[in-house]
Amino acid sequence: MECMRCGTCCVAPDISALGKPPGVRCSNLLNDGSCSIYNERPAVCRGYRPDEICLKVAAPTLDRRVAKYLELFGL
């Protein structure tokens, strides 16, 4: 599936390569859902692919999508 640039995967999961705890917005995430360090982003970000999780967390707002993601993974 195609990425909808909803931003959820740059907020909800913990990303140790960035020292980012779960539920905290990555400081590199821009308001349009793009990444300000796209060419230098860590391997974990490069390897991330949209999947059914993106659909499972669908919601009208980023806060709600993040809440659904955290709930889904018990974070």
- Per-residue binding string, ligand SF4, 47-66, x by CB under 6 A, is ---x---x------------
Q: What's the chain's length in residues? A: 75
Confirm or reject binding of residue 45 to ligand SF4 (CB under 6 A).
Answer: yes
Q: Which amino acid is at 13?
A: P
Q: Which of 5, 22, 23, 70 binds ligand SF4 (CB under 6 A)?
A: 5
Q: Cβ distance 49 to 2 under 8 Å?
A: no
Closest CA to 24 of 32, 15, 33: 15
Summarize as ranges the residues that interact with ligand SF4 (CB under 6 A): 3-10, 15, 18, 26, 28-29, 35, 37, 41, 45, 50, 54
